[in-house]
Structure 1
Amino acid sequence: MADDGTHVIVGAGLAGAKAAETLREDGFGGRVVLVGDEQERPYDRPPLSKEYLQGGLQGTADRDSVYLHAPDWYAEHGVELRAGVPATALDRDAHEVVLADGDRLDYTKLLLATGSSPRRLPLAGADLEGVHHLRTLADSDGIAAAVRSSSRMVVIGAGWIGLEVTAAARLADVAVTVIESASLPLLRVLGPEIAEVFATLHREHGVDLRVDTQLAAILGRDGRVSGVRLADGTEIDADAVVVGVGITPNTALAEAAGLEVSDGVVVDARHRTSDPDIHAAGDVANLWFPSFGRHLRVEHWDNALNGGPEAARAMLGDETGHDRLPYFFSDQYDLGMEYTGYVAPGEYDEVVIRGEASSREFVAFWLAGGRVLAGMNVNVWDVTDPIARLVRLEETFERGRHADTAVPLA
C-alpha cells in the first residue's frame, strides 16, 4: 500500500469527502488535501430538498445532521480541508493544482470531484431577487425562507428537485404552480407509464401542474420577482420562483487541462481519466458501467457515495474497478421510491407492474427483449437487492412469477 506522496481531491462534496475517508481507512499515509469551493465542510445534498428543507419550513432544521463528519474529523485524520478556496487550474506536466489564493499544490494522484451546477434559464427576469436554484445549503436555507414568507410559488421544471421542493411547499400550505415543457413530469426518466403516477400524485395534493407548457419570461417589480409569463401570454403571480431544469457538470478545470470530456469527464470503471494520475468521481464523471456496456453520467447521491471510495482505492492501485448499478431514491408526500438500473429514453419495450400503480404501492420493471433493464419500488421496501439481481441476470423476465405479488421477489 502506498504510504507517501500527496493525493489532492478537488471538490469537497460527498464524493470528495468519502474519497478522503477511504484513503485513510485503506492505509494511505501520505498527505491528503481536500479542496472545496464552499466555506462549509462537506455535507450531504439529498436532505436539502427533503427533510432538511421541510425542517427549514417548520423552523426545526437540524443543520448538523447534513454534515458528513464532525468538525474535528479532518484534523484528527490528517486531511487538510481547504474550504472556500476554489481550484482555478491544473498543471498536468508539473503535477500541480493552482488555487484561487495563489497557492500551488503538488499532487502524486489527483481526484476531480467538482460536481455540477444548476442550469440557468436564458430568459428575461432570471436574475431577479426571489428566483431560486437548489444546490447548496445556502440555497436550501434561502428557499425555506422564501416559502415561509410566500403564499404562492412557481416551480419551473418537473424533475426530481422541482417535485421534491413542490411537495415540501405544499406540505407548508403554499400554493404551487409547476411549469413543465414535457407532456408529463419525469417523462424522460420514467416514460409515460410511470410518469403519470407522479402527475396524479401532485395534482391530488393541490398542485397546479401545467405540462406541455413553455415559459417566456420571469416577471418582476422593483427588482423582485412577481410572477411568470407563459409562451401563450398567460401570466401567473408568484412570491417566489424555484428553477429546477437540470444540472451541468463542472468540467472547466478538466477541459482546460486537456482531459477527455464528453458530457462530463470520461473515465473507465476504475474512475481513471485520460491522464493515468487523474481520476474523477461523482456528478462530473462520465463513468463506464460494465453491466450496461456504456458510459453514464449519473447525477444521484449513490453514485457519489460509492464513486468517491472506488476512485480512492484506484488511486491506491486497486485494479478491481466497480460493477454496481445506478440507484436513486425520492420522497414526495407519502410516496417513497427507489430505482435500480438504467433505461435510456425510448430504449424499452414495455413496463410490467407488480401490484397496482393506482394504489401507489407497487414495483415496476422496464423490459427490453424480455430482459429487465431497471426496476422501481414504490412504497414497497427491502426489495432493491432482488431487483438488482433481476437486472444483472440478463435472462428473460418470467412474467408469471416476477409480476405475481404472491411470489416473493427474493
Structure 2
Amino acid sequence: MNTFQPAFSSWLNAPAHQQWLADEGLRLLAFAKASKLPEGFGNLDAHGELPVDAQAHTMNTARMTHSFALAHIQGVPGFAELVDHGINALNGPLRDAEFGGWFAAPDHRDGDTGKAAYLHAFVALAASSAVVAQRPGANALLSDAIAIIEQHFWSEEEGAMRESFNRDWSEEEPYRGANSNMHATEAFLALADVTQDSHWLNRALRIVERVIHGHAAANDFLVVEHFDQDWQPLPEYNHENPADGFRPYGTTPGHGFEWSRLLLHLEAARVQAGMLTPGWLATDAQQLFVHNGLHGWEVDGAPGIVYTLDWDNRPVVRQRLHWVHCEASAAASALLKRTGEAQYETWYRRFWAFSDSCLIDRIHGSWHHELDPQNRPSAQIWGGKPDLYHAWQAVLIPRLPLAPSMASALAQGSISVLM
C-alpha cells in the first residue's frame, strides 16, 4: 500500500486548516461535558442542557468515554475524570451483573433487557481507548467486553457478528445487520492495536468481505443494510418505518462513506502488521465513495446528503443528518491521503463548506444533528445534540494517519497539530 503526497495545495497540509479543526474539536468537547449524569452520560438538548428526566444511555456513555479518552490522550486537561466516570458506569449500573453484557440503560429501566451487538461494539471501543489512556478500571472493562464478543456475538462460521439476544442469551434475534457489523469493524481495528493480536484484523476483513465485497459490490456499491439469519437480503425491511434512526429502510449513503473510510483503515492496519492485504480494499473504498456521493449528494436539488434512498436510488428520507456529513468528509480525507487525487480534495472542501454553513451551531454550541430538506434545523429523527463521537472524530481523522487506530495514533504523537 502507498500513501501519496498531493501534487496540489491540500487543506490537509495547511496549518490554518489544521488549527481550525483543532479549535472546533475543543469547542465540541466543551459542549459535551454537560452530558454527565450519576450513572453515565445522557442526551443533551439543542441548547446543551440535560432534560429534567434525563437518564444515562449505554450508547452515549460508551461514545463519550471513547471521545473523552481521545481528548485526555492528547493532553487536553479536564477529561481524565470524565473517562473514569464512563468506565465506572460501564463497569457498574449499565452492566448486567447476573448474565453479563450491557443493557441499553441503567438496570434496564427503559424496559429493554436485550443485548445488542451495536452497543457492545461501542463498549469495546470505549474500553480500548480508555486502556490506551491508562485509566483505572479500563483493563477489566476491556476483558469483559472481549469475553462477551467472543462468547456470544462473534460467529466464526459466518465471519460476522450476530445481532442481538435476550437478557440471558437463550434467544437470538433472527436478523443480521450491516450497521452493527460496521461498528464491530471499527472496534476490531482498535482491539488489534490494544491487544497486539492480529486475529481482530482477520475478523474485520471477514466482515468486510461479506458486507461490502460481497453484498454491496453486487448492489452498485450501495450498502445493503438488512439481512435474515442466513445473510439473505431483506429489501423491504422497515418499509413502514423508513426513518428509523438505526435500521432505516433502503440504503444509507452515510454508511457508504463510513465503510469507505473503514476499508482504508483496515488496509493500512494489515499492511502495518505485515499481513496479506487484498487490493480490493482500496478499490472498493473508492467505489463506495463514488457511488454514495453520486446518489446521495444534492440528489433532491438542495445541498447536502439525504439520509436514505430506495432501491431505485430515489430519496426516501430527505433529512440531512450531521453524522452523515461527518463521515463523508472523513472518508474524503482518508481517500485523499491514500491516493493523492484532487477529486477527494474537492469533495473534502465541499463537505466541510456545507457543514460549516449549515450544521455547525455557533449560537448554542455543537452541531445541529438534523436538518430538514431545506437545510433548516429539525428534529424528526434525532432531537437535541447527544452525539459528540461523529463530529469529534471528523475533526481528528484528517489529522491522523490511516493506521494505527485513533487512540493508539494519538498516544504515539501522530496528530498533525497539538491542540
* TM-score clears 0.5: no
Query: Which structure carries more helix by proportion?
Result: 2
Structure 2 length as normaliser, TM-score?
0.27
Structure 1 length as normaliser, TM-score?
0.28
The structure with the larger Rg is 1
Query: Which structure carries more strand by proportion?
Result: 1
Greater relative contact order (Cα < 8 A, sep 6+): 2
